[in-house]
């Protein structure tokens, strides 16, 4: 998982959270866990996009956008490279 601080680079969001699941089941579990955890603190997503079957899910909380990728999709979209100027706040391997 990587958290990028993009607030100085765009008005789209302040943070991107980028993580990877090994299969559809993990992608669904990660998505469900994020939504359940934020629901507990009263934070609902503005919108969600994608499916586990597609290998990419996006959960948009406004200031924070969570990207959940399959491995191939993460390599394809290369968000860490696209946003290389962003400050990396957290890396968990």
CATH number of the domain within which 54 lies: 3.30.460.10
Number of domains present in the structure of the chain: 1
pTM: 0.94
The domain of 78 spans: 2-8+20-91
Asked if the structure places residue 14 within a domain, the reply is no
Q: What is the mean pLDDT of residues 81-88?
A: 97
Asked if the structure places residue 65 within a domain, the reply is yes
Each residue's pLDDT tens digit, 13-59 = 999 999 999 999 999 999 999 999 999 999 999 999 999 999 999 99
Asked if the structure places residue 15 within a domain, the reply is no
Q: What is the model's pLDDT at position 69?
A: 98
Asked if the structure places residue 42 within a domain, the reply is yes
Asked if the structure places residue 63 within a domain, the reply is yes
Asked if the structure places residue 13 within a domain, the reply is no
Q: What is the model's pLDDT at position 60?
A: 98
Q: What is the model's pLDDT at position 45?
A: 97
Q: What is the model's pLDDT at position 58?
A: 98
19-25: long-range contacts, CB 8 A cutoff, minimum separation 24: 19/66, 19/67, 19/68, 19/69, 20/68, 20/69, 20/70, 20/71, 20/74, 21/52, 21/68, 21/69, 21/70, 22/70, 22/71, 23/70, 24/52, 24/53, 24/70, 25/52
């Amino acid at each position: 998982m990587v958290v990028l601080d993009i607030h100085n680079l765009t008005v789209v969001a302040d943070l991107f959270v980028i993580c990877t699941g090994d299969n559809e089941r993990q992608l669904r579990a990660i998505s469900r866990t994020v939504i359940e955890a934020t629901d507990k603190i009263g934070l609902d997503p503005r919108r969600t996009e994608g499916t586990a079957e597609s290998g990419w899910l996006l959960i948009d909380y406004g200031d924070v956008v969570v990207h959940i990728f399959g491995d191939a999709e993460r390599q394809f979209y290369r968000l860490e490279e696209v946003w290389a100027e962003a400050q990396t706040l957290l890396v968990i391997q």
